[in-house]
Structure 1
Amino acid sequence: MNNAPEEHESAQQDDETANEAGTAKQEETPKAQDLQRWRLVLGEAAEGALGAATLDGVAQGQDAALEWLYGRDEELQRRGVRRTGRHGGDGPSIVTTVDWLEQITRLFPKETIERLERDAVERYEIHDVVTDPAVLARIEPNETLLRAVLRTKNLMDPDVLLQARRIVEAVVKQLMERLAVDVRRAFTGARSRTSSRFQVAKDFDVRRTLRANLGHYKPQERKVYVEQAYFFSRTRRHVERWQLILLVDQSGSMAGSVIHAAVTAACLWGLPGVRTHLVTFDTAVADLTAEIDDPVEILMKVQLGGGTDIARAVAYGTQLIEQPRRTIVAIISDFYEGGETGQLVRGVRALVEQGTKVLCLAALDEQADPSYDVEMGQRLADVGAGVGAMTPGELAAFVAEHVGR
């Protein structure tokens, strides 16, 4: 009996020691995971500094996949940040692009896979990602791969081109489905202040509903109980015929905008009151309006690269105009003019002075992240053009706003 307190105290100490050990283990695991992540990011050259970062089986496979791609970076090799000729993991070495794609699909989340694929085709120009039939048969279509197909389709034989078309069709379908929602929203008409019996969430009249139901406010609950909800009605736009002329630079840096311009033109085609033209250009001009309802076919015909003569495209677009004051000309380019800069500025000034709406868009894509000749952009803004970037949905809304006037 005399030993009972000592045994109890000893048991308490054992429990505390066990709890401390458990806590230490819980803290150690996240730390080890963090070290492992840094090891994957920094590569083999960091092993000395991150000695505790032992890679497990999955991480070894990830390391091998990352090294297959980024180990070819000459700058990193020169600085000794990564070593060449190494493959982590216990499995067979990654040799082909097909093997690598299968590995990253198994080892990484979707966002990481898309980044790796983008770096493979755009940074390291691994063309067999989009020119090898075995790769094309396995790969998941996305916009990065579509841009790569447009850049490399001249390298493909007819059989490979048929498989590449699958990527073009799948991505275009996704883009059109997303943009169609924005186009419908833009062209459904303006909301009026009169009530509607159709209870549509986007037309919910918050102010009138609150004002009409203030008598049902419960101070103790700080709530308004709605017995009668009100909704806006929509007036049908009075539509008069407008022209939208899209002049699209098909130089290599504009691939994303070319894709979205083709899709935007197809979505706007056939809308009441809008006649859409699609013209691509480099040093020559190609009018693709006759095929505007088939963006897949248009993209398969686009030839990215070459020089740029924006002034020539503006001159061609000017000839298409029927009613200057009911025309929108959207020039989609990085505005690095290879032709006569003065002629370009004079051409845009003439359009503005005759009452045409001129948009100079340095980007037309979902990011609307422009990269362009700022000096030229300023010169075009000075003569009255709108200069900037838009998403396809914003362009559709701009067109709808002017068509509805």
Structure 2
Amino acid sequence: MADERERLRRWRLLLGDPGSAALGAVSGDDEAIDGALNALYEPSERGGSRSAGLGDSAPKVARWLADIRTYFPSSVVQVMQADAIERLNLAQLLLEPEMLASVQPDVHLVGTLLSLHKAMPETAKATARQVVATVVAEVEKRIAQATRSAVAGALNRASRTHRPKLPDVDWSRTIQANLKHYQPAQRTVIPERLVGFGRRQKAVQRDVIVAIDESGSMAESVVYAGVFGAVLASIAALRTSVIAFDTNVVDLTGRLHDPVEVLFGTQLGGGTDINRAIAYAQTLISRPTETLFVLISDLYEGGVRAEMLRRIRAMTASGVQVVVLLALSDSGAPSYDRENAAALATLGVPAFACTPDAFPELLAEALSRGDLTGWAERYQLRSQ
């Protein structure tokens, strides 16, 4: 009986006011929950469009934000905030510092703030920076250690040698490679060959160039890519360059000491000229065979498509390893230009979506010159 009451309660909250006739009114906390949902999702009396139930009143929106944080889990709050910004045109209210102090920081909100920051009044900029810094710190905590470990392992694997000095012997791999030489009488393995790693080099071993598409649809990817770029720049064995592009190209490499500065160096929205971005990236390449170029873009090209593909072909022919990420986000399969993705595939360049948690492993595979096409298929990240 209790389960049935809970089922009917959920249906009433789902249906909103139209469910009142059959399921009755709500009371207590459910009344507050119903009000918060109605303000965002209830159709207006004028037809099918969503009503602006929150109006244009900052105090009313602030109360609504407090209510949803009270009654819904964090993951749901993030979805509702994003829906409110999109459905009720609340972006302008985010220019007010009082409003910014009320919202729950998340990656989607950072994307919205980055698209607004050029129009943001000075009074709101400090608060916006605090919001962005909070999210950046959370993302960095999530990905930094895994990224550094993956890069270190990949560079060590790339320098593996079969004539290691004793301190550099990888005993686990050596034993595995020599199991057929096990001696029962001595109860030991007599290795025929040693497997180990070359000594760590203090010099820069690989160059990494990250090009980030900052068109509006790539907001979440921009946030994650900016933080990853800053983490990679902190690894001495890599020479990391990060550029952002729409129809122009901005070199963010000088800001990589601070991921918040990287993000505020972007300008979400506008057109896309991938060809121009690749042309600039080519000027940064000094050691083609030691360079990894990561293009993060949905491949909707507003520039010269044939020239873009020609540049990619020239890159790969010179020895540059090229990877295209259609998205770097947690939001599932992205929208992307399938024709351009197919054209890249014919050039041997994999194009697939990747989650932030999977990116360190992808990076390690790329830096150790692994087969990224096989990697993408194994983890089912290739967009269909």
* Farther off after superposition, 152-161 or 182-191: 182-191
Find the aligned partners of 1:388 and 1:315 in 2 and give their Cα distance: 22
Q: CA deviation at 1:168?
A: 0.5
Secondary structure in structure 1 of the residue aligned to 2:295: strand
Find the aligned partners of 2:196 and 2:329 in 1 and give their Cα distance: 29
Find the aligned partners of 2:52 and 2:231 in 1 and give their Cα distance: 48
| 2:264 alignment counterpart | 300
| 1:390 alignment counterpart | 354
Q: Which protein has the larger Cα radius of gyration, Structure 1 or Structure 2? A: 1
User: Is the Cα contact below 8 Å between 1:65 and 1:94 reproduced in 2?
Assistant: no
Secondary structure in structure 1 of the residue aligned to 2:336: coil
Secondary structure in structure 2 of the residue aligned to 1:96: helix
| 1:163 alignment counterpart | 127
| 1:78 alignment counterpart | 47
* Residues 10-35 of structure 1, C-alpha deviations (whole Å, 9 max, x = no match): xxxxxxxxxxxxxxxxx1x3322222
* Residues 161-204 of structure 1, C-alpha deviations (whole Å, 9 max, x = no match): 110111110100111111112113213436875159xxxxxxxx
> Equivalences for 1:225-236 in 2 at 5 Å?
235=197
* Residues 93-113 of structure 1, C-alpha deviations (whole Å, 9 max, x = no match): 997111111222222232222
Q: Does the alignment pair 1:64 with 2:28?
A: no
Find the aligned partners of 2:254 and 2:366 in 1 and give their Cα distance: 24
User: Is the Cα contact below 8 Å between 1:153 and 1:161 reproduced in 2?
Assistant: yes
Any unmatched runs of 5+ in structure 1?
1-26, 87-92, 197-204, 209-232
TM-score if structure 2 supplies the norm length?
0.78
**Which AA in structure 2 matches 1:194?**
W
Cα 1:367/1:186, change in 2 over 3 Å: farther
- Tell me the number of residue pairs that the alignment of Structure 1 and Structure 2 aligns: 335
**Which AA in structure 1 matches 2:9?**
Q
* Farther off after superposition, 301-310 or 146-155: 146-155
| 1:215 alignment counterpart | none
| 1:21 alignment counterpart | none
Q: CA deviation at 1:118?
A: 1.6
* Farther off after superposition, 237-246 or 324-333: 237-246
**Which AA in structure 1 matches 2:171?**
T
Q: CA deviation at 1:270?
A: 3.3
Q: CA deviation at 1:370?
A: 2.7
Q: CA deviation at 1:402?
A: 4.8
Cα 1:337/1:331, change in 2 over 3 Å: same
Find the aligned partners of 1:97 and 1:55 in 2 and give their Cα distance: 22
Find the aligned partners of 1:288 and 1:238 in 2 and give their Cα distance: 29
* Farther off after superposition, 125-134 or 155-164: 125-134
Find the aligned partners of 1:311 and 1:353 in 2 and give their Cα distance: 17
* Residues 365-389 of structure 1, C-alpha deviations (whole Å, 9 max, x = no match): 2456332111111111112212112
* Residues 55-101 of structure 1, C-alpha deviations (whole Å, 9 max, x = no match): 12211111111111123x56x96259x88979xxxxxx997111111
Find the aligned partners of 1:147 and 1:159 in 2 and give their Cα distance: 19
Match for 2:171 among 167, 170, 194? 194
| 1:291 alignment counterpart | 255
Cα 1:237/1:30, change in 2 over 3 Å: farther
Please tell me the root mean square deviation across aligned C-alpha atoms, in Å.
3.1
Q: Does the alignment pair 1:241 with 2:210?
A: no
Find the aligned partners of 1:95 and 1:398 in 2 and give their Cα distance: 45
| 1:103 alignment counterpart | 67
Cα 1:142/1:79, change in 2 over 3 Å: closer
Q: CA deviation at 1:124?
A: 3.1
Find the aligned partners of 2:51 and 2:104 in 1 and give their Cα distance: 30
Equivalent pairs: percent with the same residue? 35
* Farther off after superposition, 382-391 or 272-281: 382-391
Match for 2:12 among 16, 35, 39? 39
